[in-house]
Structure 1
């Protein structure tokens, strides 16, 4: 019997967001928040009522305690989070922008999460869930986290679980673009649903056309490819159908970080709810639009009531 609906894993960090625009070294005041692609997805799914678990390591320090407390308040299961006495919790600093993408500086080298290894894996925790969401970030952090990710993937596949994969490319964490592309695609080919951005799709496949990017993965056995097109919406393709779903109008883009995670929350939750692919991608577009209208990575992720209201009225 499954005890969790969805499980994911990765690195969470404390995040300090500048309270005023300007160069990071000149900013005097910051607001603390939580950062992490996988925790964003876990939070979004939990707010929609899914029983969600997140696995990782954190330092036995104030940042680690903050992360665990924050996730517990979001009703996320953290039974697979290990406290590490020997390595710190990572953190990041993010600028405030009036337009465009913020500057983000990471302080994560040697973090507790980067030591997450196969030896830390409780297979029964993962297989208690009916669904696994992965990103490409743990594949980039260290050889240990890469081994952990591949181990979890194989165990979940062996149990017939559905697996989604958001490449979430972080070129700065890789030795080379070639290594990044090879490793990310090796994992993507073994998953069921692949969710790249259009720019990521071009890097990973060498194709520019969304249909060609999708075909690249479908030919390797992936069942569904959904490609994020930014303000234009998203394109999806399976062996049987394809289409483009327009995005939701946004009055003001405050912060683009976390928009892709919001899109994953919407699309994955829709598919888990039994919606059609078109309906699920439309929900993905809606939550992505909500995400860019708030400063924090997960601030815009809605509950069921808020999601329904926004999709009906376009107003949040």
Structure 2
């Protein structure tokens, strides 16, 4: 039993330690646990909430590494199975002195891409308060998309609150048209949608935060709130009642790596809402966790403990 659920594909990440060297030329690497949804689970657990992660792993060293990392981060593995027939995904990420890093995936045909949706029928939803959904898992295979839709149906049947982050990965889709159509359809089934401003431009053709919010509020009957991530500028919030506002971001001394910031934002929002805080306070927390994330080299190693988060908020609010 758990307060929080998410489903996704965990990845063994090899992050280069050679600044501004290409993936081809880098020779020094550090291994991390990665994957958008697992990043959120790590941060939720670190902030003191029980979390279960749903996936399929290969019976290989990468799968063993991921299980160990999940256990170290106190993330439940009750709904993870392993298979000898398929392999666990991994990726390479370069280190850059400015801008976003390049990423190369080794994930096609992975164990998670062959996820057995019957596993979902074993889930105990009795204590679940929130589920976080991402556009990445349904992109890795038609089988994963089918499982994702089954998971959403179960969440709705059990009246579980949901967040959805588009997390666009164009390289995983057969075409941009299919990506846009599928992601927007999935978003319409979530209570809270968390698009980035760049994602909004791709998915509905505008960089105007209010137009992005209006599109998703009108597109989904179940959608109650849209939070448009604005990067360092913070986030724009609009709800079904028409209330809207902008929550400013936090300045940091040095940006080390931007990967994982959006997932940090999501976990900040989710954990605050699970604690009964207002949406505005949840977005403030999301901005704060995102600020922690960009100051660390791994995808989730920079996420704060409750004490670190409170100290940051006391200093910066």
Q: 1:9 aligns with which of 4, 7, 10?
A: 7
Q: For structure 1, which segment, 24-33 or 5-14, has the greater mean C-alpha deviation from structure 2 after superposition?
A: 24-33
CA distance in 2, matches of 1:202, 1:24: 29
Q: 2:258 aligns with which of 245, 256, 259?
A: 256
Aligned to 2:87: 88
Aligned to 2:76: 77
Aligned to 1:43: 42
Aligned to 2:17: 19
For the Cα contact (< 8 Å) 1:54–1:78, is it kept in 2? yes
Aligned to 2:229: 228
Deviation at 1:53, TM superposition (A): 0.4
For the Cα contact (< 8 Å) 2:129–2:274, is it kept in 1? no
For the Cα contact (< 8 Å) 1:80–1:122, is it kept in 2? no
Q: 2:304 aligns with which of 290, 302, 305?
A: 302
For the Cα contact (< 8 Å) 2:131–2:163, is it kept in 1? yes
Aligned to 1:268: 270
CA distance in 2, matches of 1:139, 1:205: 19
Q: Are 2:290 and 1:291 aligned? A: no
CA distance in 2, matches of 1:127, 1:68: 24
Q: Is the partner of 1:24 in helix, strand or coil? A: coil
Aligned to 1:311: 313
CA distance in 2, matches of 1:232, 1:69: 36
Q: Is the partner of 2:3 in helix, strand or coil? A: strand
CA distance in 2, matches of 1:10, 1:126: 18
CA distance in 2, matches of 1:128, 1:277: 22
Deviation at 1:160, TM superposition (A): 1.1
Q: Extract structure 1 runs of 4+ deviating beyond 4 A.
A: none
CA distance in 2, matches of 1:126, 1:10: 18
TM-score between the two structures when normalised by the length of structure 2: 0.96
Deviation at 1:217, TM superposition (A): 1.3
Deviation at 1:27, TM superposition (A): 1.6
CA distance in 2, matches of 1:129, 1:67: 23
Q: Is the partner of 1:122 in helix, strand or coil? A: helix
CA distance in 2, matches of 1:52, 1:275: 19
Deviation at 1:127, TM superposition (A): 5.9
Q: Are 2:51 and 1:52 aligned? A: yes
Deviation at 1:20, TM superposition (A): 1.2
Aligned to 1:237: 238
Deviation at 1:119, TM superposition (A): 3.1
Deviation at 1:312, TM superposition (A): 1.4
Aligned to 2:65: 66
Deviation at 1:117, TM superposition (A): 3.2
CA distance in 2, matches of 1:297, 1:198: 20
Aligned to 1:160: 159
For the Cα contact (< 8 Å) 1:229–1:235, is it kept in 2? yes
Deviation at 1:125, TM superposition (A): 3.6
- Note the alpha carbon deviations across 1:160-218, whole angstroms, 9 max, x for none: 11111001000111111111111111111111000010011121122331111111111
Aligned residues: 313
Gap runs ≥5 in structure 2: none
CA distance in 2, matches of 1:5, 1:211: 32
